[in-house]
Structure 1
């Protein structure tokens, strides 16, 4: 643990408050913690008593040898006495090990159960968080709080907490035992402590800046490597390989300089502390020898004292290191508690569920909404969609197309007005029931690490093999799936990079078909497939949308000419509404959009 002494730890903003809250998670297991404390004390005490008893054996052996050398009649070494002491020592070390085992076993259960509860709370909290929380933070930041910070708490509870208990008990016990042997030698030993503290503080201060620089350079290097590997094709196309390599060398050099300085400076801490400790040992041996010569102390006691002196320095070093680790752990706990204290979604409906056979009538009535309270995106939005209609939503970037869908599914809460499905306010419907009415196919595909069968079957729980295959056939994905070596058992990696973008989109469409939803939401669902496949998917979608209300967010206006209603949005409002022919004849905003795309195509 000495190598980590100089490592900087992030400090909590409210150390006492966070520590108190963290300790609150341990209250339900106070009896187990009491057992851990008792086992730690007993284990340490048995270990501390051993050197003193071993010193008695040394003294008895020394007395027998000296008596023989001095020609004392009948002098002999009392091997029976020494043998009894050896048996006692074996018993002491055995009991020390047993209690140490009990301590680690019980503490493992306490730590893991506590962290289990904490991780369960975080997971439940994430399920109650509004979409705006995830939109305002990076995914890595949220994942770091749930994994790295919680693991940091777990490791500290499992290892550092028990080490801290043992270190404190060892320090107190060793000082008491040294005082019983010789107050003078104890004073000499304690005089080395201020020097060790000064060395530790100076080295830690010098190394901290280098550790910070090392972490900063490491972060830059990771970011650079990730960026370069993600875009290596473009780097080669634009011939920036040399510049990329030079940047890597520059960051790597800074990391090397900071790294070796940090490791070197922190690495000399233990030799310096050992040097100071050895000075104390020399003084103890010299003064102890003088005391033995004056028959003021037994030689075995000097041996025991030297052992205690060696035991004394290590727990002090460990305690100092653990104090730094606890600072970092409380900072991690504070980050986790900040997540747990975040504002949640509005309380879900307690009673009431959608109709058993929803018709799919959707209405926006005087809806007001803004991502910020002082900047409204929608002020008085009114839309009425009849059951079974195909509604296309078009408009420039930032017009509010995706926002409309997010409000419909209650990913965001409206600031005024109401949204209804079959006449019922969606706020009176439980979110789980509400979202079960929808099937979504987005432009950005999402597939998880698993088989193709599992990814399609994600659309409906307990779907049969035949239903999965039928859904794949309807999405025109069955053919390419069967050409894969493992067919439907082909395992997709985390990024599904073993499939083309178009193939991934086909799987998400098959998943939506399998879900058999009452209302469909398609966000440029055919943007990643070729023209021939697009025609096939459009035909499949037409069959799928029969009798269902569907919302289609489109950028290519040629794909929504058959829509029953086209909503033209701009700046959060519906500025035009009608069929394709009606909007073209009106010669307004939609006509300009459509004609501009047609001219670009030509």
Structure 2
């Protein structure tokens, strides 16, 4: 499904709000577009209408007294009321003249009570009298009240339009925020469905950028871009309707803008897509670099790598600046410049029409001053939304590219969370001819076979890269093996819900990860089913009661991100308690005591015997002195088991394990 269709589907989730907003927008645009029509009416029917024929009538609200006789403008009379010989008013700049004979437009000369008009058809004369300022105002007096009423109507429409404008903007922005909330929630929830393998190949900063920066760009699409596009489209439609109501021929002239605008948008999109894609990609890389530098700042400073890291960051920054500059050139070339050219071309076409009419063969005889004013006003109003559309094209393409990136993340194959509960396993674990590769055929585990009885402690030892952690990854179903099978109580792990299985498993890593909150919330992992008493009991079992009592707030002590305010021993004790509070059937200790001081390790070791009771425990350890009491010790080398047995058996075998044990013992002594 295309990005546009998916964005449209998300928009449908707030369709009622959007429809109401568009209705308000339509009313607002219609109200604002009445302005030129009202201005045309004022000009043609009330200001310029003074040059119409004036007929002798009885006194009335729309009559004017001149030279002892009452006159009324023909526009205010019916055809039956227009009787007798009328008078005519001609204007020359600020001078006004009265004649009993109509004269055409042209160059006016007044001399010796004779008004002479000259144009291309010849010279015309008529007896005339000048009008004083008071007499001119008297002829305009009947038009003042209608003009005031029309201006009042226009003001009311503008005020009403502003209220509708506010309503549509509020509703559109509200719907945009709601849509982005749904997209971000869906994207975040999908992350929990993705396999661990996905996170091995994509830096955290790039993932964060897609869920935050890219969704923010999509928010601009719904909140700003589409709002402008909707309002601009409705405005353009309204302006065209008004233009055709004014004069069909003038409306046809402006129709040529539509194909030009369409071609313009196509060409813009052709060149802008790559620029925007590169810009968003560089933003992700910058976020990833920032995340990596902040996480590794102690190492960077310890090894004096500040200048090198700054240089690498500057390289990314310059590349981003280069793409932004290319985008800026494109926007500068295709925005205001082109709209100005098109507007001027329309005005040139209008002048040609008028000049053609002045030559005797055009349309100017059909164009009143009010129509020309309204046409110019509407053309200016037409280019306002056109300019808005053009100026939003960059944001539109940014949003489309960001949508591609977000939906690409959401399209990654994931596994639905299966909350199907299973009975607590007895803890029997069997690996039958298991082979596993992270990539293609590069196997890191090769034909492994071993079995752990319920309640046994299995130790995994070997050099770095021998496959110890990979066994744990398979056991927790972070990955699935390509060959062989793993059985829990005789049932293949592939036939068990991963979430249901992990509900009965606990793990303690070499580097414990703590979340922002308190010590208690990190132990319970925000599980409402875990009581305070269970948390305290788990802390006591790992020997941490006395250690955490020294903190000002005890178990309610605030934990910052990663638990940086706590010692490594305190963090590891919390990790132990977290694994034990759910009473797991299978417990995994992955180098769990390697970063703990001797005193803290002693506290943990005191509770380990009781912790192992009723649990199958897997221990990954480099310090062989901590696993001497294990029921089985598996010695791994390059993904294969090369030795297997308990401590005494392996020492009698005098192989790799015995050699490693004696070497560590000599180093310790």
Scaled by the length of structure 2, the TM-score of the pair is 0.73
The Cα of 1:81 is off from its aligned counterpart by: 1.1
- Paired with 1:382 and 1:167, the residues of 2 have a C-alpha distance of 69
CA deviation vs aligned residue, 1:33-86 (integer Å, no higher than 9, x gap): 555544443332222222221332355564489979623563134232123213
CA deviation vs aligned residue, 1:210-252 (integer Å, no higher than 9, x gap): 9899878877776666655555544554445566666777777
- Paired with 2:276 and 2:408, the residues of 1 have a C-alpha distance of 27
The answer to whether the aligner puts 1:394 opposite 2:461 as a matched pair is: yes
Change (3 A) 1:285 1:477: farther
The answer to whether the aligner puts 1:359 opposite 2:426 as a matched pair is: yes
The Cα of 1:550 is off from its aligned counterpart by: 0.8
Change (3 A) 1:380 1:92: same
Aligned counterpart, 1:509: 576
Conservation of the 8 A alpha-carbon contact between 1:281 and 1:306: no
Aligned counterpart, 1:89: 154
Instruction: Say which structure is richer in helix.
Output: 1
Q: 1:75 aligns with which of 117, 133, 139?
A: 139
The Cα of 1:522 is off from its aligned counterpart by: 0.7
CA deviation vs aligned residue, 1:22-43 (integer Å, no higher than 9, x gap): 4344556666655554444333
* Rg (Cα) greater in structure: 2
Aligned counterpart, 2:239: 174
Choose 285-294 or 302-311, whichever is displaced more.
285-294
Aligned pairs for 1:175-214 within 5 A: 175-181=240-246
User: RMSD of the alignment, in Å?
Assistant: 4.3
The answer to whether the aligner puts 1:329 opposite 2:399 as a matched pair is: yes
The answer to whether the aligner puts 1:50 opposite 2:117 as a matched pair is: no
The Cα of 1:391 is off from its aligned counterpart by: 1.2
The answer to whether the aligner puts 1:339 opposite 2:409 as a matched pair is: yes
The answer to whether the aligner puts 1:584 opposite 2:654 as a matched pair is: no
Q: 1:522 aligns with which of 571, 584, 589?
A: 589
SS across alignment from 2:459: strand
- Paired with 2:148 and 2:318, the residues of 1 have a C-alpha distance of 61
- Paired with 2:584 and 2:524, the residues of 1 have a C-alpha distance of 14
Conservation of the 8 A alpha-carbon contact between 2:209 and 2:284: no
- Paired with 1:422 and 1:325, the residues of 2 have a C-alpha distance of 57
SS across alignment from 1:446: coil
Change (3 A) 1:217 1:549: closer
Aligned pairs for 1:412-431 within 5 A: 412-431=479-498
SS across alignment from 2:566: coil
Scaled by the length of structure 1, the TM-score of the pair is 0.80
In structure 2, stretches of 5+ residues that fail to align are 52-88, 97-130, 359-363
Change (3 A) 1:149 1:559: same
- Paired with 1:223 and 1:128, the residues of 2 have a C-alpha distance of 22
- Paired with 1:573 and 1:582, the residues of 2 have a C-alpha distance of 19
Aligned counterpart, 1:564: 631
In structure 1, stretches of 5+ residues that fail to align are 1-15
Change (3 A) 1:494 1:192: same
Report which structure shows greater RCO (CA 8 Å, sep ≥6): 1
Conservation of the 8 A alpha-carbon contact between 2:220 and 2:399: no
Change (3 A) 1:480 1:588: same
The answer to whether the aligner puts 1:134 opposite 2:199 as a matched pair is: yes
CA deviation vs aligned residue, 1:331-357 (integer Å, no higher than 9, x gap): 33333443343333499696x7224xx
- Paired with 2:307 and 2:7, the residues of 1 have a C-alpha distance of 50
The Cα of 1:525 is off from its aligned counterpart by: 0.9
Choose 419-428 or 201-210, whichever is displaced more.
201-210
The Cα of 1:577 is off from its aligned counterpart by: 1.3
- Paired with 1:422 and 1:541, the residues of 2 have a C-alpha distance of 24
Aligned counterpart, 2:4: 19
The Cα of 1:476 is off from its aligned counterpart by: 4.0
Q: 1:455 aligns with which of 497, 522, 545?
A: 522
Conservation of the 8 A alpha-carbon contact between 1:367 and 1:380: yes
CA deviation vs aligned residue, 1:255-294 (integer Å, no higher than 9, x gap): 7788778768856876645764785698599789989998
- Paired with 2:487 and 2:162, the residues of 1 have a C-alpha distance of 68
Change (3 A) 1:456 1:234: closer
Q: 1:383 aligns with which of 443, 450, 458?
A: 450
Aligned counterpart, 1:549: 616
Choose 135-144 or 537-546, whichever is displaced more.
135-144
Aligned counterpart, 2:380: 310
Change (3 A) 1:213 1:353: closer
Change (3 A) 1:231 1:536: same
Conservation of the 8 A alpha-carbon contact between 1:207 and 1:261: no
The Cα of 1:185 is off from its aligned counterpart by: 6.6
- Paired with 2:468 and 2:634, the residues of 1 have a C-alpha distance of 9
Instruction: Say which structure is richer in strand.
Output: 2
Change (3 A) 1:129 1:534: same
Change (3 A) 1:344 1:302: same
Change (3 A) 1:336 1:257: closer
- Paired with 1:340 and 1:207, the residues of 2 have a C-alpha distance of 24
Change (3 A) 1:587 1:502: same
Aligned counterpart, 2:115: none
Change (3 A) 1:486 1:413: same
The answer to whether the aligner puts 1:536 opposite 2:603 as a matched pair is: yes
Choose 382-391 or 113-122, whichever is displaced more.
113-122
